[in-house]
A and B are shown apart, each in its own frame.
Chain A
Amino acid sequence: MGPVKQRIASEDYVTINVGPSHPAMHGTLRAIAYVSGETVLGTDLEIGYLHRGVEKLGENLTYHQFIPITDRLNYCSAIANNVAYEMAVEKLMGVEVPVKAQLIRIIMTELSRIADHIVLVGILGVDLGAFTPFFYLFIQREEIYEIFEWYNGARLTNTFGRIGGVESDLPEDFETRWHELKKGLEKAIDETDKLLTHNRIWMDRTIGVTPISAEDALSWGFTGPCLRACGVKRDLRKDEPYSLYSQFDFDVPTGKHGDVFDRYMIRMIEMQESMKIIDQAFDLYKQLGPNEPLMAKVPKIIKPPEGEVYHAIESPNGELGFYIKSDGTDKPYRIKIRPPCYMIFQAFDELIQGEMISDLIACLSSLNIIAGELDR
């Protein structure tokens, strides 16, 4: 019996298990919903079904061996996790990564950001009963995964990059491939926009549903698109520019009400902004010669000096931070991951109290809770 159940004074409710295996649950989440008719009085949230002890695993693996584990955090955008971890270790070691490697990382991270947002928008549509945009977008996501596969053979869990740089150059005709993908993406985003954004039913289902104010969002620790949807213009790529992001020209979209519609729109616009960044990054990349280094000079066995570091990047979901404490050996003393979902999911119960069962599903979808990242 959870705390919410004790809080509900009325005895007039039915308990409904939404999850851990339920078509609308993204991964193995579980929300025990107390409903009266169609209205949700409250939920008890159970997390931990996908807990694999990622942080503890890190203490027993060398620095390089931990990269594949980070794939399994937010598996919709594995590359962003890889890059975040690698940058944290590099910061600890004080290594300067070559420009070419940084550009490749930016291109790949933004591609994975698009893939992640595609998953969100597509699944949000499916959860609200609009099945078709899902396919338009997922065909393009498939193309993105083709590019990933082409780069290093992996599609979902990419294990991209190495500490100190990246393992290989972009494939030769990346340019033509990217232009094809861009055309397809623009068309798919446009079609989705036409099918959903101004659809009366879609607007009724999303506008004003589970809104959150900027103050509340900040005090819950929201980051990323969910925070920007409330009108807070915070994007680590702009506010605490890392890598080469300060050189690129892109907008940070913000919403007003922090409702499902704003969260959806932020993602739609961010996909287009990411495409702009990739274009600019690729232009810079083309100016570099083919023999530019891809790796900084790092030893074969990574042994960072004693100390601790926290580095966060703007992952598709929000601030993804890695705290690493090193004791000078080849294995980290402690790794702590700050996933964006964990903070966002705390607010879920408060968001959906008094809303309807359908809104519970819509809200969960729009927050983009990824169990892998949440439970670690």
Chain B
Amino acid sequence: MNEWTIAIIKVVFIWSWTLLIATIMTWVERRGSALIQDRLGPNIAGPFGLFQPLADGIKLFTKEEFAPKHAHKILFTLGPVLFAIQAFSAYAVIPFGDKIVINAKEIVLQVADVNIGFLFVLAVGSLAVYGFVVGGWGSNNKYSLLGGLRATAQLLSYEVPLGLAMLAVCMTYGSFSLREISLDQAGTFLGFLPNWGIFKQPLGFLVFIVAAYAEANRVPFDLPEAESELVAGYHTEYGGMRLGLYLFGEYVNLYTLSALMVTIYFGAWHIPYVDMSSYLGPLAYGIVSFLVFFLKCAFFLWLFVWVRWTIPRFRFDQLMGLGWKSLIPLGLLNLFVTAFLIQITV
């Protein structure tokens, strides 16, 4: 196998894997909310209702691609497409395991190990704004427009604290590459704490996770689609697979953000105090590292669901206040403290 074949296999794998996760997440969301709310949730299609996402997918695909008469024909389609493209491309630089050895050939479990991984994630992630605002504008509907505007302001505001938190991580590990940061998190520091980002950057993690929820448009930050105020916000006019792209894109984003959190704060594929590679063969190690990484992601995915069905929604001014008055100062403080600590320890 040459480099190209491997790269294509990895791209196809991660594409279908994120799509699978997004599909399963719709099931987890519905069953999870049912669990929290004393209901059953979808349980008819397949065992535990597991085929429900499949049925939903078929439904979305076979629906008429209807566009309202007053909508802008090109922008109306461009919105969801842009959103889906950014959702699927952001994962390219995030690892999904350590490495796997097949036929004495070492394959890194990451599509592209670029040395500016962080910047790539931020840059691609911020394209989501275009998905919302183009869709909201193209729908030519006041609710959609308001949703799109809300999304723009919200995503732009919360990218700043997100970036600040990630910058502090870069300073701690001295690298922009997500793979190098992952590798650095093996072992322990101060003798007993795992060498994970969360222990080195507790405040940074707090800022990051709040900003991540806002970036993902989830409760308590789901203002762009606040159903009780804006009907469905930017996707009010959408139906069929165009709506499907928005919905899938949202779950793919959740997975990307969870994976990012795991990569930079929760030791990627490392298990604390255990060095797996010394116990397992190279192939088994690759698979186990993938599974460990995925389980950690699964926890954060579940956290997204859990939070969504537990707390109410912010008001728009409160959302902005939290972003600009709390998270950004906290992020800056975190940055200064990190810089100071690096100065005195190095």
Residues of A at the B interface (CB closer than 8 Å) are 14-16, 22-24, 38, 125-132, 135-136, 139, 195-196, 199, 201-202, 204-205, 356-359, 361
Contacts and interface: CB of A to CB of B under 8 A. Distances in A.
B81 to A, nearest CB: 27
Contact of B313 (A14, A38, A201): A201
15 contacts: A14-B142, A16-B143, A23-B227, A24-B229, A125-B312, A132-B36, A135-B39, A136-B37, A136-B38, A201-B318, A202-B312, A204-B314, A205-B314, A357-B229, A358-B229
Contacts of B310: 130, 132, 195
Interface in B196-253: 219-220, 222, 226-231
Interface residues of B, number: 27
A356 B226 CA distance: 14
Contacts of A204: 314-315, 318
A358 B33 CA distance: 24
A38 B314 contact: no
Contacts of B228: 23-24, 126-129, 361
Which of A128, A136, A199 has most chain B Cβ within 10 Å?
Answer: A128
Contacts of B226: 129, 358
Contacts of A129: 219-220, 222, 226, 228, 311-313
B309 interface: yes
Nearest to B321: A204
A15 B143 CA distance: 11
Per DSSP, are chain A's interface residues mostly helix, strand or loop, or mixed? helix
A131 B316 contact: no
A47 B146 CA distance: 26
Contacts of B220: 129, 201
B312 A356 contact: no
A64 to B, nearest CB: 40
Given A23-B228, A129-B220, A361-B229, A135 B316 contact: no
Given A14-B142, A136-B37, A199 B311 contact: yes
Q: Which 7 A-B pairs have the closest CB atoms?
A: A129-B313, A135-B37, A130-B312, A24-B228, A127-B228, A128-B312, A129-B312
Given A23-B228, A24-B228, A129-B220, A358 B309 contact: no
Contacts of B315: 204-205, 356, 358-359
Nearest to A24: B228
A23 B310 CA distance: 20
B64 interface: no
Contacts of A361: 228-229
B317 interface: yes
Contacts of B312: 125, 128-130, 196, 199, 201-202, 205
A264 to B, nearest CB: 12
Contacts of A125: 312
B345 to A, nearest CB: 36
Contacts of A205: 312-315, 318
B317 A356 contact: yes
Given A131-B33, A357-B229, A361-B229, A139 B313 contact: no
Contact of A131 (B309, B314, B317): B309
Nearest to B37: A135
B318 A132 contact: no
A183 to B, nearest CB: 15
B12 to A, nearest CB: 37
Nearest to A14: B142
B142 A16 contact: yes
B162 to A, nearest CB: 20
Given A16-B143, A196-B312, A357-B316, 4 more contacts: A16-B142, A127-B228, A357-B230, A358-B315
B314 A135 contact: no
Nearest to A16: B142
Interface string B305-339: 00001111111111000000000000000000000
A182 to B, nearest CB: 18
A138 to B, nearest CB: 10
A6 B221 CA distance: 35
A130 B311 contact: yes
Contact of B231 (A22, A126, A201, A356): A22
Nearest to B313: A129
Interface in B1-57: 33, 36-39
Contacts of B38: 135-136, 139
A132 B33 CA distance: 8
Contacts of B317: 38, 356
A132 B34 CA distance: 9
Contacts of B229: 24, 357-358, 361
B310 to A, nearest CB: 6
B314 A201 contact: yes
Contacts of A359: 315
A14 B311 CA distance: 31
Nearest to A135: B37
A129 B227 CA distance: 8
Contacts of B146: 16, 38, 357
Nearest to A201: B312
B37 A201 contact: no
A38 B319 CA distance: 13
Contacts of B222: 129
A201 B319 CA distance: 10
